[in-house]
């Protein structure tokens, strides 16, 4: 749910257990003499109280985890907090329906910045959905059909995550440190998952988050190995409808509303002509002030003008920014244009549900799908104006597979902008990737979208899906993920 970030970024900042932790010594080596290595099975975790996990590399981090029987009673579910001193990030974990002792692990985060991964859990790809006021129902096309799946509420302030003294995170770089630490703590404490294939996935602002998160995990692996600990088997990154290169995305708004890139043009001719006349100016301005040499003031001004020029005409149509084929239902600030999200909010506001999940009793505010304060904190640092495409290239060069998938009806993080940056990405496989023609990929013998691939890099569209692909096309998205984590081409 990246819309709030786009509307505020330029205008807001166009200006300006008993484990004893070991510490690094001068040679950056770790002594584990005093660390009581925990060897636990996840199934041994209590359902009535938290178990605390630690790691010698991260003296300021720990994890509280408990078993929580809810949502999908065919598998074990767990909830808890990643504690970073006074900051606490909430997470859900569901074992695989297939073979939890052998299947890969998927990490999922929603975007925003500031939107809750409970949305991904209960609305999109989780083992249950909340379609009405009656609570959860079994979701047959959940991504945990063949994988163990995390849903992490990050950064602090999102969903049930909280800070004790008003602390906050305002950049993706800060958030990446916490995520990488959590991943290491989990895998080191539960030996059953060591060496298991690990995939980091998300959508929307996840296009900025995930390349940095995965890079932090990858870079951390060298230090883990040097200390005699098991590195994380990071195999891939999956970005759905991501904002990875914001400057190419802003320009693509013209194509989405004024050409039949997905549907027939939806904006009046006069507005489209006016927008077209600014394309070269905006491309040059953003390249000069944002990419060639980042200047906070000039970059902020360029994005404020250009993003506004292309967004205002679309917003005036009343269409859903997450699905150009349909109108927005309800106030976007309250429903994200999907009234069903209100049922998720009501469910997570129930005291009985919060007690079951182990939500900290200090969380007294109502649950919100997207937190405005978190969004503003990221806007204040112009975080969105720092593309993460180079991190994608660096991951590819190191053998980490990357999947960029996009619903064909999404406007806000659309397939046009995502295809453009993937084709322009500078990496050793660029020529091969760019030379590939888009081809159909099939589900049950029928076209599910278009794809191109070279080496470790794959781009794919999902026909008829909007921003939240697993919600619109659950069968196709599950088939896509199953093929991907199995290492099969789409």
For residue 434, the domain's CATH number is 3.40.50.1820
Q: Is residue 282 within 8 Å of residue 306, measured between CB atoms? A: yes
pTM, rounded to two decimals: 0.91
- Domain contains 345: no
Residue 204 belongs to domain spanning: 17-244+385-485
- Domain contains 464: yes
From the list 55, 61, 199, 467, the catalytic residue is 467
Q: pLDDT higher for 487 or 10?
A: 487
Q: pLDDT higher for 465 or 5?
A: 465
Q: Is residue 204 within 8 Å of residue 349, measured between CB atoms? A: no
Nearest to 117 by CA among 75, 164, 82: 82
Average pLDDT over the chain, rounded to an integer: 89
Give strand pairing partners of 198.
105, 234
pLDDT digits 0-9 by tens, 321-357: 999 999 999 989 889 999 999 999 999 999 999 999 9
pLDDT at residue 86, rounded to an integer:
85
Q: Is residue 106 within 8 Å of residue 199, measured between CB atoms? A: yes
Instruction: Find the largest Cα–Cα distance for the chain.
Output: 72
Instruction: Specify the range with the lowest mean pLDDT, choosing from 197-206, 280-289, 313-322, 364-373.
Output: 364-373
pLDDT digits 0-9 by tens, 186-238: 888 787 888 999 999 999 999 999 999 999 999 999 988 988 888 999 999 99
Residues 6+ apart with CB under 8 A from 177: 216
- Domain contains 113: yes
Q: Is residue 98 within 8 Å of residue 146, measured between CB atoms? A: yes
Between CA 331 and CA 346 the distance in angstroms is 17
Mean pLDDT of 86-98: 92
pLDDT at residue 2, rounded to an integer:
61
Band of the pLDDT at 32, cuts 50, 70, 90?
very low
Domains: count for the chain: 1
Percent of the chain whose predicted confidence (pLDDT) is above 90: 68
β-pairing, 77-84 vs 457-462, is: unpaired
pLDDT at residue 373, rounded to an integer:
86
Between CA 92 and CA 368 the distance in angstroms is 17
Nearest to 244 by CA among 424, 22, 56, 51: 424
CA 64, 66, 70, 76 dihedral sign is positive
- Domain contains 294: no
- Domain contains 56: yes
pLDDT digits 0-9 by tens, 110-159: 998 989 999 999 999 999 999 998 899 999 999 999 999 999 998 888 89
pLDDT at residue 84, rounded to an integer:
84
Between CA 267 and CA 57 the distance in angstroms is 54
Between CA 80 and CA 360 the distance in angstroms is 9
User: Is residue 410 flagged as an active site residue?
Assistant: yes
pLDDT at residue 251, rounded to an integer:
97
From the list 116, 118, 204, 246, the catalytic residue is 204
Residues 6+ apart with CB under 8 A from 281: none
Is the pLDDT at 371 greater than 90? The verdict is no
The reply to whether omega before 113 is within 30° of 0 (cis) is: yes
Band of the pLDDT at 105, cuts 50, 70, 90?
very high
Torsion of CA 313, 319, 324, 326, to 10 degrees: -160
Between CA 231 and CA 390 the distance in angstroms is 23
User: Is residue 236 flagged as an active site residue?
Assistant: no
- Domain contains 223: yes
Nearest to 422 by CA among 408, 450, 402: 402
From the list 142, 410, 453, 472, the catalytic residue is 410
Between CA 38 and CA 23 the distance in angstroms is 18
HEC profile for 168-213? CCCCHHHHHHHHHHHHHHHHHHCHHHCCCCEEEEEEECHHHHHHHH
β-pairing, 135-138 vs 128-132, is: antiparallel
- Domain contains 339: no
Is the pLDDT at 22 greater than 70? The verdict is no
pLDDT at residue 38, rounded to an integer:
55
HEC profile for 256-292? HHHCCCCCCCCCCHHHHHHHHCCHHHHHHHHHHHHHH
- Domain contains 314: no
Between CA 316 and CA 311 the distance in angstroms is 9
Mean pLDDT of 249-274: 97
65 to each of 21, 48, 80, 427, how far by Cα in Å? 19, 10, 4, 40
């Amino acid at each position: 749910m990246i819309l709030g970030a786009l509307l505020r970024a330029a205008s807001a900042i166009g200006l300006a257990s008993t484990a004893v932790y070991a510490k690094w010594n001068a040679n950056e080596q770790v002594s584990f003499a005093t660390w009581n290595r925990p060897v636990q099975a996840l199934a041994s975790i209590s359902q009535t109280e938290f178990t605390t996990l630690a790691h010698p590399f991260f003296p300021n981090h720990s994890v509280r985890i408990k078993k929580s029987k809810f949502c999908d009673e065919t598998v074990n579910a767990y909830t808890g907090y990643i504690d970073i001193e006074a900051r606490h990030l909430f997470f859900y974990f569901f074992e695989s329906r297939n073979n939890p002792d052998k299947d890969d692990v998927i990490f999922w985060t929603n975007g925003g910045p500031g939107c809750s991964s409970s949305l991904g859990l209960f609305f999109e790809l989780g083992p249950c959905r909340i379609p009405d006021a009656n609570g959860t129902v079994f979701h047959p096309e959940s991504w945990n059909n063949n994988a163990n799946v995390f849903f992490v509420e990050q950064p602090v302030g999102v969903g049930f995550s909280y800070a004790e003294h008003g602390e906050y995170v305002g950049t993706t770089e800060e958030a990446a440190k916490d995520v990488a630490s959590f991943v290491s703590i989990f895998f080191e404490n539960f030996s059953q998952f060591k060496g298991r294939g690990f995939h980091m996935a998300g959508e929307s602002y996840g296009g900025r988050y995930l390349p940095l998160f995965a890079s932090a995990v990858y870079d951390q692996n060298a230090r883990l190995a040097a200390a005699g600990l098991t590195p994380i088997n990071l195999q891939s990154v999956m970005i759905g409808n991501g904002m990875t290169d914001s400057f190419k995305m802003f320009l693509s708004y013209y194509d989405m509303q004024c050409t039949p890139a997905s549907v027939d043009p939806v904006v009046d001719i006069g507005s489209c002509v006016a927008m077209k006349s600014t394309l070269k100016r905006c491309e040059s301005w953003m390249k000069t002030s944002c990419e060639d040499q980042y200047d906070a003031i000039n970059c902020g001004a360029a994005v404020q003008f250009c993003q506004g020029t292309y967004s205002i005409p679309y917003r005036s149509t009343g269409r859903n920014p997450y699905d150009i084929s349909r109108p927005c239902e309800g106030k976007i600030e309250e429903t994200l244009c999907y009234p069903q999200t209100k049922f998720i909010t009501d469910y997570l506001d129930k005291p009985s549900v919060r007690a079951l999940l182990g939500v900290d009793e200090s969380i007294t505010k109502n649950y919100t799908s997207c937190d405005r304060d978190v969004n503003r904190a990221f806007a204040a640092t112009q975080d969105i104006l720092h593309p993460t495409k180079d991190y994608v290239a660096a991951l590819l060069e190191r053998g980490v597979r990357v999947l960029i998938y996009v619903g064909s009806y999404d406007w806000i993080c659309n397939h046009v902008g995502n295809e453009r940056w993937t084709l322009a990405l500078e990496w050793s496989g660029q020529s091969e990737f760019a030379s590939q023609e888009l081809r159909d990929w099939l589900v049950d013998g029928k076209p599910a979208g278009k794809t191109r691939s070279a080496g470790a890099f794959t781009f794919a569209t999902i026909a008829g899906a909007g921003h939240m692909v697993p919600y619109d096309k659950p069968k196709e998205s599950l088939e896509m993920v199953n093929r991907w984590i199995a290492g099969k081409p789409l």
